[in-house]
Amino acid sequence: MSVKKLSIVWFRQDLRITDNPALSAAAECGDVLPIYILDDINAEDWRMGAASRAWLHHSLAALNKALHGKLVLFRGNAREIIEALVTDLPVHSVFWNRCYEPWRIKRDAQIKLDLSAHNTEHRSFNAALLWEPWTVSKKDGTAYRVFTPYYQKGCLSQPAPRQPLPPPARLSWHDETIGASKTLQELDLLPTGQSWHESLVSHWQIGESAAQHRMDSFCDDCLDIYKSGRDFPAMDATSKLSPHLHFGEISPHQAWHRIGLASMSSQSDGPAHFLREIAWREFSYHLLYHFPQLPSQNFNQKFDRFEWREDDSSLQAWQRGHTGFPIVDAGLRELWQTGYMHNRVRMIVASFLIKNMLLHWHRGEAWFWDCLVDADLASNSASWQWCAGSGADAAPYFRIFNPVLQSEKFDPEGAYLLRYCPELAALPPRFRHKPWEAPADLLRSAGITLGVDYPQPILDLKLTRERALARYKALR
């Protein structure tokens, strides 16, 4: 009687059954032990923020249900936990899908050495990117620093992204009790204040099935208007797939080929534009892999000389959505309430913090890291540096978003503003964008006292723009 081989599948940012190469490989070998390890020890400063942890709690619950309750949870140093499992169990192989954060690359390399010392088979797979960072380079072998040639000359010259894998046809489980495992509640992912957590997750459906449903709904209802509508925050014209992609509830291969299928019946530029946005995510990982200091250091080192301000009071007003500029406040309130912010609004609030307030991009990056359900080290770092002008393919230093003009252009009736700043509802649309310009009698009739019912502006847009330009020019 032959004994089935035991394989560990280490779930990470791939919380799905379909198109999961590590799970498929393990299923072909014999019995499967699926595990997840919350490793805050190796993550150190990059341990997940509060919003991401709340999402993870529900995503793990959904994955465990899909795995018929067989997912085994751990908390601690992944290297030590895997070492103990391989020592205590008759493990033949360990499979996982690759991650690209610098701390994970370092830790995983050590784990591979440990497994080799045990003569334990181990394999890692690509499940999170269409083009892995070391496969795309310029003709001279160096990394791309500008998106357009990266995508057009680098990515699109590569073999087409592979087709998604089906779920394993059959899975057999390792059913013995595993010592030192944790319950989902013992992972302690949820914050103490349940009202905030419950409000946050009420805006989302979480898990693999929810990700597939959102992908299908986007293709059916929004894809054709994506290019023209994605800049208007009041419109439902974006996919909102970013947290699902980050946690691996859906793979980029699934999204790429689903959009390709939808493009066959589309007459718009929406599909091509969306695929380009997926490529921007790839570019962020390309940068993080080749320049691992991206989250902590200016990509453009001349910005090390930039004279940033320190102003905790203004930072707190920005974080709370109390700046007195409705589009900025609406964005920060959306972030707090839903764990998400519309992409156009992300650029506006980032420009406001960095260029009008002259606060270091690290301040905004840290707040987003804690509050976003799609907080992603590569995208978060690259995007904040792009807004600051210090990053690769960065926005020019003189590009300073005027929040009033942006609001008037992309939310003309103030529909988005009123979702998160309802105290402005009684004002006519043109004054919703700049209530400080409303006549006193109009403010009285609307029941608004600036500084009481809605904040006074915390800064002068013209003066702070000139101040930022002067400091940026000094770097030249």
pLDDT one digit per residue (tens) for the chain, 476 residues: 346 799 999 999 999 999 999 999 999 999 999 999 999 999 999 999 999 999 999 999 999 999 999 999 999 999 999 999 999 999 999 999 999 999 999 999 999 999 999 999 999 999 999 999 999 999 999 999 999 999 999 999 999 999 999 999 999 999 888 888 999 999 999 987 667 888 888 999 999 999 999 999 999 999 999 999 999 999 999 999 999 999 999 999 999 999 999 888 888 999 999 999 999 999 999 999 999 999 999 999 999 999 999 999 999 999 999 999 999 999 999 999 999 999 999 999 999 999 999 999 999 999 999 999 999 999 999 999 999 999 998 777 788 999 999 999 999 999 999 999 999 999 999 999 999 999 999 999 999 999 999 999 999 999 999 999 999 998 87
- Same domain, yes or no, for 262 and 357? no
Is residue 359 a contact partner of residue 311, using CB atoms and an 8 Å limit?
Answer: yes
Position of tokens 């595990």?
35
Burial status of residue 210 (CB atoms within 10 A of its CB: 0-12, 13-18, 19 or more): middle
Q: Would you state the torsion angle of the CA atoms of residues 377, 380, 383, 386, taken in this order, to the nearest 10 degrees?
A: -70
- The pLDDT value recorded for residue 193 is 64
- Same domain, yes or no, for 233 and 269? yes
Q: What is the 3-state secondary structure (H, E, C) of 320-361?
A: HCCCCCHHHHHHHHHHHHHCCCCHHHHHHHHHHHHHHCCECH
Domain count, the chain: 3
User: Catalytic pick from 10, 204, 256, 384?
Assistant: 384
- The pLDDT value recorded for residue 169 is 92
- Same domain, yes or no, for 333 and 269? no
- Same domain, yes or no, for 120 and 155? no
451 lies in which domain range?
301-474
- The pLDDT value recorded for residue 194 is 63
In this structure, is the dihedral angle defined by the CA atoms of residues 299, 302, 305 and 307, taken in order, positive or negative?
negative
Residue 55 is among the residues annotated as catalytic for this protein: no
Residue 246 lies in a domain: yes
Question: 113 Cβ partners below 8 Å, 6+ apart?
Answer: none
Give the burial string for 11-37 (b: 16+ CB within 10 Å, else e).
bbbbbbbbbbbbbbbbbeebbbbbbbb
Residue 352 lies in a domain: yes
User: Catalytic pick from 361, 367, 369, 386?
Assistant: 361
d(CA 273, CA 270): 5
pTM over 0.85: yes
- Same domain, yes or no, for 403 and 456? yes
**Helix pair angle (326-338, 312-320), 10° resolution:** 70
User: Both tokens of residue 285?
Assistant: 């990982």
User: CATH number of the domain that 256 lies in?
Assistant: 1.25.40.80
Tell me the C-alpha to C-alpha distance, in Å, between residue 220 and each of 265, 275, 276.
Answer: 11, 16, 19
- Same domain, yes or no, for 55 and 106? yes
- The pLDDT value recorded for residue 20 is 98
- Same domain, yes or no, for 283 and 335? no
Domain end point (choices 76, 102, 125): 125
Question: 172 Cβ partners below 8 Å, 6+ apart?
Answer: 4, 30, 31, 32
- Same domain, yes or no, for 447 and 373? yes
- The pLDDT value recorded for residue 313 is 97
- Same domain, yes or no, for 154 and 240? yes
Domain end point (choices 290, 311, 346): 290
Residue 181 lies in a domain: no
In this structure, is the dihedral angle defined by the CA atoms of residues 373, 314, 47 and 290, taken in order, positive or negative?
positive
H or E stretch at 403: helix 403-410
- The pLDDT value recorded for residue 2 is 45
Residue 376 lies in a domain: yes
- Same domain, yes or no, for 70 and 143? no
Position of tokens 């040639």?
149
User: Catalytic pick from 46, 103, 308, 436?
Assistant: 308
Residue 242 lies in a domain: yes
User: CATH number of the domain that 424 lies in?
Assistant: 1.10.579.10
Residue 169 lies in a domain: no
User: Catalytic pick from 83, 121, 277, 408?
Assistant: 277
d(CA 399, CA 429): 26
Residue 67 lies in a domain: yes
- Same domain, yes or no, for 266 and 387? no
Residue 384 is among the residues annotated as catalytic for this protein: yes
User: Catalytic pick from 83, 121, 343, 436?
Assistant: 343
Is residue 245 a contact partner of residue 284, using CB atoms and an 8 Å limit?
Answer: no
What SS3 state is found at 150?
A: helix
Domain end point (choices 232, 257, 290): 290
Is residue 151 a contact partner of residue 279, using CB atoms and an 8 Å limit?
Answer: yes
Residue 298 is among the residues annotated as catalytic for this protein: no
- The pLDDT value recorded for residue 1 is 36
Residue 168 lies in a domain: no
User: CATH number of the domain that 33 lies in?
Assistant: 3.40.50.620
d(CA 10, CA 97): 8
- Same domain, yes or no, for 397 and 278? no
User: Catalytic pick from 280, 408, 423, 436?
Assistant: 280
User: Both tokens of residue 197?
Assistant: 């957590």
Question: 37 Cβ partners below 8 Å, 6+ apart?
Answer: 10, 73, 74, 75, 76, 78, 81, 82
Residue 308 is among the residues annotated as catalytic for this protein: yes
Residue 310 is among the residues annotated as catalytic for this protein: no
Residue 173 is among the residues annotated as catalytic for this protein: no
d(CA 192, CA 212): 31
What SS3 state is found at 465?
A: helix
Question: 462 Cβ partners below 8 Å, 6+ apart?
Answer: none
Tell me the C-alpha to C-alpha distance, in Å, between residue 179 and each of 74, 84, 195.
Answer: 10, 10, 33
